[in-house]
């Protein structure tokens, strides 16, 4: 699970009002239908904050889609004990909290109910950046729907394992509603620094079926020479 820091997600999970739409020339269209930003009903402070937050998220490469979060099927009979160990990030949806390459996630069992998380990446300056957290299943009946926490002061964030065979690949999805929109994250992980193209295509099909825009996926550099600092 290469979720490095989802502290922005729970902070922004409040219910936001429907943002104004853009007119033909890019002006905010008010309820009166006018394209003139000085005519019509004024936006209240909550609407202004909503638009600012959405603008900031968009500028920081967060993927924001219309509508509420999808509710995809997850891995049946998920077994956390088989999921332990190291995973290499192959692809991801863009986000503002992962800044490097060579990303890995290592899981270990803290207790029967709690998994320790160690996420690492190689920054452009050659330094390895790591963050520790925990993952728990909120509902034992749905063990593939995990909640991940990295900071005691921040609410946990969703980490849903959509599909995994435990020994080769894992497909992870996370989504938070923002009023009439949703912000989503996705990661394709592998037990090795590479993953067969046919497997990637199968996972792409799953993501596409829930509305994820495949053209937004970014490939992670896992070149052995480039990532050598991760293993020192």
The per-residue pLDDT for range 115-127, each reduced to its tens digit, is 999 999 999 999 9
Parallel, antiparallel, or unpaired: how do β-strands 128-137 and 145-149 relate?
antiparallel
Secondary structure of residue 190 in the 3-state scheme: strand
Q: What pTM was estimated for this model as a whole?
A: 0.76
Q: What is the pLDDT of residue 16?
A: 33
Give me the mean pLDDT over the 213-224 stretch. Answer: 97
What does the pLDDT read at residue 132? 96
Q: How far apart are CA 3 and CA 10, in angstroms?
A: 13
The DSSP result for 112-178, as a single string, is: TTEEEEEEEEE-TTS-EEEEEEEEEESSTT-TTEEEEES-TTS--EEEEEEEE-SSSEEEEEEEEEE
Locate 153 and state its tokens: 């002061």
pLDDT in tens, 116-174: 999 999 999 999 999 999 999 999 999 999 999 998 888 899 999 999 999 999 999 99
Distance of CA 78 to the CA centre of its chain: 20
């Amino acid at each position: 699970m290469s979720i490095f820091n989802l502290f922005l997600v729970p902070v922004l999970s409040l219910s936001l009002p429907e943002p104004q739409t853009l007119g033909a020339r890019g002006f905010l269209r008010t309820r009166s239908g006018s394209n003139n930003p000085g005519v019509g009903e004024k936006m209240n402070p909550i609407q202004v904050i909503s638009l600012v937050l959405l603008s900031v998220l968009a500028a920081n490469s967060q993927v924001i889609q219309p509508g509420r979060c999808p509710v995809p099927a997850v891995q049946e009979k998920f077994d956390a004990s088989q999921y332990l160990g190291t995973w290499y990030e192959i692809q991801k949806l863009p986000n503002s909290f992962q800044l490097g390459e060579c990303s890995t996630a290592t899981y270990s069992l803290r207790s029967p109910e709690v998994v320790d998380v160690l996420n690492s990446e190689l920054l452009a300056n050659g330094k390895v950046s790591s963050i520790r957290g925990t993952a728990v299943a909120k509902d034992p009946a749905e063990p593939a729907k995990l909640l991940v926490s990295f900071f005691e002061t921040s609410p946990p964030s969703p980490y849903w394992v959509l599909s995994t065979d435990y020994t080769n690949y894992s497909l992870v999805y996370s989504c938070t509603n923002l009023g009439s929109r949703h912000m989503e994250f996705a990661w394709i992980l592998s037990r090795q620094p590479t993953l067969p193209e046919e497997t990637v295509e199968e996972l792409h099909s799953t993501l596409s079926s829930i509305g994820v825009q495949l053209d937004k996926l970014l490939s992670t550099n896992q070149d052995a020479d480039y990532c050598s600092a991760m293993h020192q």
